[in-house]
Structure 1
């Protein structure tokens, strides 16, 4: 029987997952909006947001006002797009590519059969997943990432769809930030709760159907 492992990183609490889902769904959220949507205390939300900013998953901006009043701080998901790129995330993907290149020079057999930019995307993705408590196994030929056993399998079943959606969004953000042809397509419908496989695809290919 698989032993559930603790999860770390940006999805280490469901409250943080809720906040991430909201900023992924629509950018430039205020503390007040997040409070109304989650019921969490404003100070708790600020603490979660600070952790997410430090992890490179959320960015903050100052509201542009045309009327009097103190501008609000607004929060958005760091999607990797030019207008929503996190300096922390940029440093992470750069460091991951550097470590990946070093490993491939030492062990040429570990090099995947992909172009250099796609290989660097996988470097960043694997490090992100490991940081989040997963043990990813990448099949660069089939373009799948096996995350079994899922560290969230023992959690509440009603939370699973949101967890999957949030982490798929985080994976896509990492791939976009790294730059290259790979995108996160969908989470393959599992037969057992502890099973999790994410399908990747090359940009431009027909997207799959998410579970």
Structure 2
């Protein structure tokens, strides 16, 4: 399937990965503070932030300062779809096209996900779309909550830089799942399980899954 113009490309640039990591660790920093943290010019940092916002990873808001004048703009990672219009559009798109693609045989959900119900299905579809659009070629196991991934664009990094990139991506996946209500959570990400693949492990919150299977009598 041809890649769309809205496919994720922002995190192929390592400085954006560093920037997202700082935002994950230190929410509500200003542009100037972020530029200093990543060692980039303010204008370059602003451009990178624009890409991260456009792709639904970061949100911006004015920070009340209790004084006259324009309040400073601060940034944080998106863990609620209402924080970012692009994130909302992505989820709406998945909910609209996911069932259609499954009906015509162009997409499927693992049996374990189907057992957990519609909420899990929406979470899984949203996560897989992100992974696919990021070029990670997700392949889901049919019976276990595991997804094999192609090694990320930062395979060439070494040591602390590679660890940083893996950590940022793992936290991003948790934030994406948090945007869609459901039982699935990130259990762990095993980077470079083989020379060319990584593995994502999911788990189901048992209380939520039980509510979906056996809803309380009204």
TM-score (norm. length: structure 2): 0.81
Aligned position for 2:119: 117
Aligned position for 2:211: none
Q: Deviations over 1:19-53 (max 9, x none)?
A: 10011112111112112211100001100000111
CA distance in 2, matches of 1:105, 1:69: 55
Q: Indicate if the aligned counterparts of 1:143 and 1:199 stay in contact, CA closer than 8 A.
A: yes
Change (3 A) 1:180 1:44: same
Q: Indicate if the aligned counterparts of 1:134 and 1:150 stay in contact, CA closer than 8 A.
A: yes
For the residue of structure 2 that corresponds to 1:178, the secondary structure is coil
RMSD of equivalent CA atoms: 2.3
For the residue of structure 1 that corresponds to 2:150, the secondary structure is coil
Q: Indicate if the aligned counterparts of 1:112 and 1:119 stay in contact, CA closer than 8 A.
A: no
Task: For residue 169 of structure 1, report the CA deviation from its aligned partner.
Answer: 1.6
Task: For residue 106 of structure 1, report the CA deviation from its aligned partner.
Answer: 2.2
Q: Deviations over 1:43-86 (max 9, x none)?
A: 0110000011110110000010112343100011011276xx32
Aligned position for 1:181: 183
Task: For residue 199 of structure 1, report the CA deviation from its aligned partner.
Answer: 0.9
Aligned position for 1:10: 10
Moved more, 56-65 or 114-123: 114-123
Moved more, 15-24 or 165-174: 165-174
Aligned position for 2:98: 100
Aligned position for 2:205: 203
Aligned position for 2:23: 23
For this pair of structures, how many residues does the alignment match?
197
For the residue of structure 1 that corresponds to 2:74, the secondary structure is strand
Q: Indicate if the aligned counterparts of 1:20 and 1:77 stay in contact, CA closer than 8 A.
A: yes
Task: For residue 90 of structure 1, report the CA deviation from its aligned partner.
Answer: 1.3
Q: Deviations over 1:102-154 (max 9, x none)?
A: 02222399343321111111111111112212101122531111113433222
Show structure 1 runs of 5+ residues with no match: 1-6, 206-211
Higher relative contact order (CA 8 A, sep 6+): 1
Aligned position for 1:42: 42
Aligned position for 2:138: 136
For the residue of structure 1 that corresponds to 2:71, the secondary structure is coil
